[in-house]
Structure formats: structure tokens, C-alpha cells
Amino acid sequence: MLLGVGALVIVGGVLAWFFLRAEPSRPRLGEVRPAADSSDSSPEVAVVGAAMPYVASPAPTEPVRQLPRVTIERSTAASAGAFSGRVVSATTGEGIRGAEVTVAGPGGASSLVTEAEGRFELRPSAPGVYQVAAIRAEGFQPFGPEWGRSPISLSAVPGVQVREVVIALTPAPELVGRVLSAEGAPVAGAAVRVLTYRAGESVLFPVKDRFTTDERGEFHFTAPEGARVEARHPAHGVARVRIYEEDIANRRVELRMYAAAQEGTRADARVEGRVLTPDGTPASGALISVMSAASVYPKEYGSRDGYQTVAEADGSFAVEGLEPGVYDVSGMAPGFAPARAFDVRVPASGVELRLAGGVTLAGLVMEDGGNPVPAFVVNVLLRYGPLERLSFAQGRFIDAGGQFEFHGLTPGRYVVQVTAAGFMPSEREVEVTEGAREVRADVMLARGVRLEGRVLAAGSRLPISGARVAMESGMAGDALAPLFDAVSGADGVFVLEGVPGTGVSLIISAPGYNGRLLSGVRPSAPLEVELTATAPDAGSKVELVGIGAVLKPRGDALVIGEVVPGGGAHAVGLTPGDELVRIDGTPVTELGFAGSIQRIRGPEGTQVVVGVRKAGKDPVKDISVPRKKIGV
């Protein structure tokens, strides 16, 4: 994807719930060798064997309710290093028995099958760097990127046992979809496409994603929470929906055509081209992303989250079924700088994306006191203008020394973001200059504090079990990470670790209830959160307090893409295309995107003063906007 995570939000809440953390809509394409001296040619790694016997472990009686911190300990029994943990559901924390995990190293690959409660233990035959190459479990979205290109890295160190490794698979049950006309009649013969934004992660296990509705307007498919489904019919128009938690629970989803087909909305446009390495050879397996062009926003072509595919062996690619319009196209592959073509007018052919070579980014992740953090996710973004950031790479590292490494950075300024269970997220900027060979980016993580809370049903105040609680961050979710930071127990209680003392935004969701986004939650007294039940025959929504505007960074401003009816922005006459350039007198370029969003948020009934360029034209006018409770 061309824009970094967090590039599009409803002020007062995230655009698609918790998907700032959970939605895996950004490619993870960094080299995953975590140590500068752990190349495949090093003596230590070259002797790695393939045998990795499974060792059964005692099964816990409870699902994962809170993400544990990965720990390391010295063990004479782990002569070549060892790893233990669980494979769990990304939505419930329950262990997955029978999940097949394939781990690959320089000496070959081996598989294991998880036991009760998803427990596993890996004991490599030799030390070195391994990749979690593939994972499959019935009823879950498979993980199988191009062989050798996994973003999940395990560094086996002699005498070191790594414990509490949690790998989460996203449920993807079989669902029944139904396409209806604007009048509510079944639409037969509609072309349906399921967009999971994981094209690069399903290469080894292709999942059917194209369907045609039957005479009842129905189709059967599998999809994870967060996927989008798009249906088109030449006589009825287009319909798009996102798969939510309640859809997974009900096993059904409905798409209603919102407009009659017009010229320019038919699914007959395509973009095709080739992606090449720096020396001109085909970049087989490169991930291709096609998104509505940022330059034309708030106009959007096609699905809001874009389309993905993987380049063929000869580097060619084709993305079909697009709405004619203007798109940004990118190509990414491990070890290279991404190639991007902006403002491509589709239909288009002959698009050439040439990847670039670059320098190495290496670093250490440590906690206060200098001890290494053994498990973490690193997200690397390229600064593109005062507010915009472009995805570059992401990797998940399990390394007793806290080391990470990426390759292919070209000159420019980069933002390195790091998250780890039990710690507050951290980020730092680094600059890559012409002629550099390596850039260091050591990161220090602070532990944060503990936050306890309880999730209750509004009205009855009965506890809600299994509610997911996620801390909002600006980072992309890791492909195999849970969609929660904590899950409430039978008494509705949840516990979060690593919360900033200055406060945090929380997203709380549970099946059968409307979600809530709470801003500025401080870890002081125990928190009580009430969720309202969803109305009969109505979809769930997210209840939040804000001005009710969808914003996206561009240039020196935040551009309004949508205005929520009943919100404060609507009340004062703000419209799509208007640009916010300052908030309470401070330029958004000083606050940054995340800082601007936090500044706009606030208590219900208060006001925020925003400096607005109407339709992007000077002069700037200060407008006082009320903060209201809305549902989206």
C-alpha cells in the first residue's frame, strides 16, 4: 500500500474500528535476518539442520487473555536454542490444536503440529536464523508467503530457551453472501471479489477469491474479519462491505447495490505491467498494490483499501475488475526499495516498476537498563511530505539479543516504529544519505503501567465475557498477531500492560454489541466500559466522541474525505475537500498526523478550533467545531 497505516481516520475514532492495529493491510517486506552477523554464509548458520522435534508441553486451562511478554532463560537442555509458546485464535485467544507450523532455515525445513491448547516447542538441531515459513489450520486464514520471504524470524542461540511465543491465526470460516439490488431483490450473475489484503501471505496456499452469484443472489466463500467484499453487476451497479465480527458469528453477509451501473463504473478496467529488480531481471513474487490515487482524494476509485496481487515468474502482473480512474501503483520485494508509479490512469498497460537497491538498516531494541527485548515488531516508513508516510517494510523478530535488520533503503528520512508486548510503542527517525552503507536505529522501550478495567452491558450492567480490548496505535498489525491486547474474562475484567502514563485510546468490541472508542484513558482508577447491544436487524457500529470527519494527510493539511451526518463537522458546514491546516492555533505540520488527531479529540460537548481552507483554497478561516457522540 502506498500510504502508511493511520493515514485515514475518523477524527475521534479509527475509520474501521480497531483496524489501525488489527488490519493487516500493509506488506511486511523487510529482510528478516535480525543480526548483522547472522547471514546464511556465517559458520554458525551454515550448519543448521532441518530436524525440529515436537516436544509436548502441559496445556493451560484458560485461553490467552492478555498478550504475554516473551521471556528468555538459560537452559543447558537447549544446546542449539529452543522456543515454546502457543498458536491461538486472533480473535478469542483460544489455543488451536492441530495447527501445522512449518519452520525453514538454511539447512532445510521441518513441520510440527500443535497439541492441546495450541502448545508447541521447537528445538532446532543447530543454532541460527529460522523463518516461520507457513502455518495452516482448518477454519483459519492460511499463512504462506513466497518461500524464503516470511516476515517472522526466529534466532536460535545455544543455551537460550525463549518462552511465551504467541502466534495468532485469524479465523476464516465459510460464509454465505447474498447480493441484492437497490430495491432488495436477489441479483443473479453478479461478479464478486473478496479482498483480504494478504495477497503476499497466501502464495503457498491460494484461496479462492472470485465468485458469481446464483439465482438466489448467493455465493459461498471464506474470509477473515476485516476483509472487504466487492460485487458488480452491469445492470445493478456496485456494492462493497467489510466483514465484521458479527458477520463471522452469523456466518452471513449481505451486499446491497447502491447505484445503477453508469459509464465509468463497470468492472472492465485493468492495469498491467512488469516489476523488475535493479539489474532488470524479473522480480518474481513481488507484491503489487493498486490504490485510488492520493492526489485525487476525496475522490476515491474502487475499494478504499485497494487491490493486491503477486507478480508472476516473468515479473508480469495484472489487476482486473477496476473502476476506471486514477490510481497509485506500487511494487515491493524483500531486500529492495519499493517502486511506485503515481497517478496512473486506468485502464493502463505497460506500467514498469523497477525496484531499487539500497543500504542496510540495523538496530537493537532494548528496555530501560540496557537489557535486550527478545520479541518485537518493527515497522519502517518513508517520510513523504510533512505529514504523509509511505510503507517500506515490516518484520516480526524473536531474537535474544534484540537485534533487527532490513535491506534496500534509499536516501531519505525514515520513521522506525517498534512495538512489543508489555511496553509502550516507540518510534524514532533516521536519515539515509547518499553513499551510506549502513544506518543504525537502536530503540529504547519503556515498560509503561498497568490498566485494569471491566466491560459491562449497558442497562443490565452484566459482565461481558470475551470482549476484545485493543490499544490504538499508528502501526500496522503483524500478519500473525492477535487482534487484541486483552480479552475480558467471565467477570468482564481485563488487564493491559505497557500503557503510557499520559493516557491511551482504547477500542473495545464484543459480538452482539456496538463497539466503543475511548480517548485519553489514563491508568489510574479501574475503568468501567459499557457496551450497548446492537439493534435488531441492524449492523454493529462504533460509538465515539469526535467532530465526525474522515481525514487523510496530504501536503501541509488534513483533507476531509467524508462528513458524518449529525457530527460537529456537519453542523458547522465542513464538506469533503476542505483542508484542516491548524488545530487550536498550532499547525498540523508541527503536531504530526497522530498528534493532530489526538488534539482534535476531546470530551463530549466541548469545542475545538480548526483552521480550514475551504475546498483547499486560501484564506484559512478558524472555525469552532463541537465534539459530539456519534456512531459509525
CATH number at residue 584: 2.30.42.10
What's the pLDDT score for residue 475? 55
- Select the more confidently predicted residue: 11 or 200: 200
Which amino acid does the sequence have at 163? Answer: R
Mean pLDDT over the full length of the chain: 84
Same domain, 480 and 556: no
Cβ atoms of 131 and 334 within 8 Å: the answer is no
- Is residue 132 assigned to a domain? no
- My answer on whether 538 and 483 are in the same domain is yes
- Domain annotation covers residue 284: yes
pLDDT given at position 474: 56
Q: Which residue has the higher pLDDT, 46 or 419?
A: 419
Question: Angle at Cα 143 formed by Cα 139 and Cα 144, nearest 5°?
Answer: 130
Quick one: 529 and 608 in the same domain? no
Please check whether residue 419 lies inside any domain of the structure: yes
Instruction: Give the residue among 518, 588, 515, 514 at the shortest CA–CA distance from 551.
Output: 588
Pick from 96, 100, 120: nearest CA to 109: 100
409 lies in the same domain as 436: yes
**Predicted pLDDT at 152:** 86
* Least confident segment among 18-32, 376-390, 402-416: 18-32
Alpha-carbon gap, residue 478 to 620, rounded angstroms = 40
Using the 3D structure, point to which of 303, 334, 354 is the last residue of a domain: 354
Please tell me the predicted confidence (pLDDT) of residue 212. 97
391 and 349 within one domain? no
Residues 535 and 513 in one domain: yes
Residue 133 forms part of a structural domain: no
pLDDT of residue 213: 97
pLDDT at 36 over 70: no
Q: Within a 13 Å sphere around the CA of 628, how many CA atoms are in the beta-carbon half?
A: 19
Domain end point (choices 502, 518, 544): 544
Q: Which pLDDT tens digit goes with each residue over 308-326?
A: 999 999 999 999 889 999 9
Q: Which residue has the higher pLDDT, 321 or 217?
A: 217
- 516, 544, 572 - which closes a domain: 544
Residue 538 dihedral angles phi and psi, to the nearest 5°: -130, 145
The CATH number linked to 369 is 2.60.40.1120
Q: Which residue has the cell 472555525?
A: 623
pLDDT of residue 587: 96
Assigned domain for 497 exists = yes
* 177-203: average pLDDT: 88
Whether 454 and 511 share a structural domain: yes
Q: What is the pLDDT of residues 225-256, one digit of tens each?
A: 888 999 999 899 889 998 988 888 889 999 99
Question: In this structure, is residue 481 part of a structural domain?
Answer: yes
Distance CA 161, CA 82 (A): 5
342 and 407 assigned to the same domain: no
- pLDDT beyond 50 at 41: no
Residue 505 shares a structural domain with residue 559: no
Cell for 410? 534509499
3-class secondary-structure state, position 303: coil
* DSSP 8-state secondary structure symbol assigned to residue 537: T
Same domain, 559 and 622: yes
The pLDDT of 319-344, averaged and rounded, is 93
CB 64 within 8 A of CB 487: yes
- The verdict on 411 and 453 lying in the same domain is no
Rounded to whole angstroms, the Cα distance separating 384 from 191 reads: 37
Residue 320 is assigned to a structural domain of this protein: yes
Q: In what order do the strands lie in the sheet with 412-419?
A: 108-113, 100-105, 128-136, 152-156, 388-398, 375-384, 412-419, 426-432
- The whole-number average pLDDT for the span 488-496 is 95
Residue 27 pLDDT? 28
Domain extent at residue 372:
359-441
For residues 469 and 452, is the Cβ–Cβ distance under 8 A?
Answer: no
pTM: 0.83
Tell me what the mean pLDDT of segment 22-32 comes to. Answer: 29
Count structural domains, the chain.
4
In a domain, 415, yes or no: yes
pLDDT at 539: 67
Do 392 and 414 lie in one domain? The reply is yes
